[in-house]
Amino acid sequence: MPLGPASSAINIQGPTVLEASSNVLRTPTKVTIHPVALFSILDHYLRRTEHQDRVIGTLLGTRHENEVEVRSSFAVLHSETDEQVAVDMDYHRTMYELHHKVNPKEVIVGWYSTGSNLNTYSALIQNFYSQETAPHQAIHVALNTGVEEGQEAGVKAYISSPVGVFPKPENCVFVPVPVELRFHDAERAGLDLLVDTANSSSSTSPQPVADLEIIEKAILSVSDMLDRVLSYVRAVLAGEKKGDPAVGRYLMDTLGASTDDLEKGSFNASLQDTLMVTYLANLVRSQAEVSSRLALTAAS
């Protein structure tokens, strides 16, 4: 799910010496963010002091070749004035050690800030996080809350590139990187509840729905998608619409993989569980009948 308005900026990817030799280090070309990280950033923004124009924090996640996946984040104390910027590095490292004990697979991938203002202080903070993520590049996620007049809410991601023959920490250019929202199936119910609350005309927020209602909505959604796919396939077979080979391959791979998983995976496991429960129930029933007959025989 794309975040924010479409950008016409050119994404620059320059290969380094290490990339050309071993392909171990690669420039991030895509950033995905989970809702938990976004909610943490918004909560940090709501708890800011009156004198803070923006808040910053650390992003935690994983790297997969050219993609960076942001799974969580935590706030970092900092103060920013017209003359200087100060970041509590000890607090940052202490929080990261605590997070690392809980989630050892998550590492520092960059930092976040609220607002869309990229200045010299942003370059200095980017330089600090580049040292924390070395030898990988640090990403910067800018979340615009949209509370300021004329500002549109959205999320943008950047990587930095040094400028000049003898680059300084405060001299760099921020290169935009495509960013998307990614969420698991278990998080969809919470997101749907937030959307219903935002679209509700009443001041009372809707209550979380039961599991059966969630399953019912999911089944109705799947049924609607299957109807659309079926109508598309029928239109292509009847010659009413020109078929798209990419869509056909995608449907074949999706339905084929789903059928294979259904036959060999979860369906067999569920069937075995059902048969085991049925067998145990019949065994208990037979045992009870034998016991009752033995009791009647002993009594007579």
Q: What is the pLDDT of residue 4?
A: 57
Q: What is the pLDDT of residue 267?
A: 63
User: Any idea what the CATH number is for the domain that residue 55 is in?
Assistant: 3.40.140.10
Residue 198 lies in a domain: no
Q: What is the pLDDT of residue 76?
A: 92
Residue 59 lies in a domain: yes
Co-location of 36 and 111 in the same domain: yes
Co-location of 147 and 248 in the same domain: no
Read out DSSP for 223-273? HHHHHHHHHHHHHHHTTSSPPPHHHHHHHHHHHHHHHHHHHHSHHHHHHHH
pLDDT mean values, one per 10 residues, the chain (300 residues): 50 42 66 90 89 90 90 90 86 92 92 86 89 89 82 87 77 88 76 73 63 78 89 89 86 66 62 83 85 78
- Give how many domains the chain has, as a whole number: 2
Q: What is the pLDDT of residue 300?
A: 65
Q: Which residues contact 98 (CB under 8 A, 6 or more apart)?
A: none
Co-location of 133 and 227 in the same domain: no
Co-location of 97 and 142 in the same domain: yes
Residue 271 lies in a domain: no
User: How far apart, in whole angstroms, are the C-alpha atoms of residue 99 and residue 101?
Assistant: 5
Given a contact cutoff of 8 angstroms between Cβ atoms, the answer to whether 160 and 137 are in contact is: yes
Residue 233 lies in a domain: yes
pLDDT per position as a tens digit, 112-151: 999 878 888 888 899 899 989 888 889 999 998 877 777 7
Q: What is the pLDDT of residue 17?
A: 41
Residue range(s) defining the domain that contains residue 135: 30-181
Co-location of 88 and 158 in the same domain: yes
Q: What is the pLDDT of residue 257?
A: 55
